[in-house]
Amino acid sequence: MAGEFDEIRSRLEAIAEELADLAIVRLRESIDAGGAELPVDERRLTRARRAVEKAIGLLSEPDDDPGGGGGFARR
């Protein structure tokens, strides 16, 4: 099953990059407008990028549950 998530991971990496680029644009716009505070949507974009990066990390982990139980103990 190695590489099963490669395509999804690749798309998520592109999305994370887009979010980072958009956050930089928002920061530049704020600076150009003379803003002294970070724009609210830049913070939201950064949080979203971090969440996407977390998903990338989760999909990059080796399959440590060969039983396919999703990591939950069966009772």
3-state helix, strand, coil in the chain (%, to 5): 65, 0, 35
pTM of the predicted protein model:
0.73
Residue found by looking up tokens 């991971």 in the block: 9
Write out the chain's pLDDT in tens, 75 residues.
Answer: 557 899 999 999 999 999 999 999 999 998 888 877 778 888 999 999 999 999 999 999 886 655 555 554 433
Residue 37: predicted pLDDT: 74
Task: Note the pLDDT tens digit of each residue in 50-59.
Answer: 999 999 999 9
Residue given tokens 């939201």 in the structure block: 44
Average pLDDT over all residues of the chain: 83
